[in-house]
Amino acid sequence: MAITTSTHDVISSERVEGTSVYNAAGDKLGSIDELMINKRSGKVEYAVLEFGGFLGMGTDRYPLPWSMLDYDTDKDGYVVPLTKEQIDGAPRYTETTTPDYTPEYSQRIGSYYGVGI
Q: Give the binding site for a second copy (CB under 8 A).
A: 1, 5, 7-14, 16-17, 34-46, 66-67, 71, 100-104
Tell me the three state secondary structure of residue 39. coil
Question: Would you say 109 and 91 are in contact if contact means Cβ atoms under 8 Å apart?
Answer: yes
Give the contacts of 32 (CB within 8 A, at least 6 positions apart): 16, 17, 18, 19, 21, 47, 48, 49, 50, 78
Nearer to a second copy, 83 or 98 (CB): 98
Question: Would you say 64 and 8 are in contact if contact means Cβ atoms under 8 Å apart?
Answer: no
Nearer to a second copy, 85 or 100 (CB): 100
Nearer to a second copy, 46 or 113 (CB): 46
Taking the complex as a whole, how short is the minimal distance between the CB of residue 58 and a second copy, in angstroms? Answer: 19
Nearer to a second copy, 83 or 94 (CB): 94
Taking the complex as a whole, how short is the minimal distance between the CB of residue 26 and a second copy, in angstroms? Answer: 22
